[in-house]
């Protein structure tokens, strides 16, 4: 269990918060935007541009590209190694957007099981 998994577990602790409530608390503390991956589609073309091992390792989901950056859903906004790797692969700065771990896992499972 890494540090973010521990933080998520703590937010859902003895009097558990629902995952979306924990997400809102964390986003407010970190001043980050949130995304609900059950209601928002990833950018499948950008996701396909990432090696599957990178997607599995860093648990990230690209949401879209703007002129200046790529928005990436993550449950770990402190995983700077992930953002550096994505910046190198995609050739543009990364803007992290906070997403629930379950949503990240759902998209990654869908992506990795697609033919």
Mean pLDDT over residues 29-53, rounded? Answer: 90
Number of domains in the chain: 1
Q: Is residue 108 part of a domain?
A: yes
Q: Is residue 79 part of a domain?
A: yes
pLDDT of residue 79: 93
Q: Is residue 48 part of a domain?
A: yes
pLDDT of residue 8: 63
Other CB atoms closer than 10 Å to residue 111's CB: what's the count? 17
CA distance 14 to 97: 27
Helices within 1-115 (DSSP H only): 3-11, 19-30, 44-48, 52-58, 80-90, 101-113
Instruction: For the chain, give the mean pLDDT.
Output: 85
Q: Is residue 103 part of a domain?
A: yes
Q: Is residue 60 part of a domain?
A: yes
Other CB atoms closer than 10 Å to residue 114's CB: what's the count? 9
Mean pLDDT over residues 13-36, rounded? Answer: 76
Q: Is residue 8 part of a domain?
A: no
Name the maximum alpha-carbon separation found in the chain.
44
Greater confidence, 14 or 79? Answer: 79
Q: Is residue 28 part of a domain?
A: no
Whether the per-residue pLDDT at 90 is higher than 90: the answer is yes
Mean pLDDT over residues 55-59, rounded? Answer: 93
Residue 72: which domain range? 33-113
For residue 108, give the CATH number of its domain.
3.30.300.160
Q: Is residue 63 part of a domain?
A: yes
């Amino acid at each position: 269990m890494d540090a973010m998994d521990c933080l998520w577990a703590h937010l859902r602790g003895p009097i558990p918060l629902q995952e979306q409530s924990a997400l809102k608390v964390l986003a407010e503390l970190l001043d980050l935007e949130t995304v609900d991956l059950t209601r928002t589609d990833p950018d499948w073309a950008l996701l396909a541009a990432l090696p599957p091992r990178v997607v599995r390792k860093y648990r990230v989901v690209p949401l879209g590209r703007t002129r200046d950056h790529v928005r990436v859903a993550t449950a770990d906004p402190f995983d700077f190694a992930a953002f550096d790797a994505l910046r190198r692969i995609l050739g543009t700065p990364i803007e992290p957007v906070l997403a629930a771990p379950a949503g990240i896992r759902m998209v990654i499972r869908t992506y990795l099981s697609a033919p």
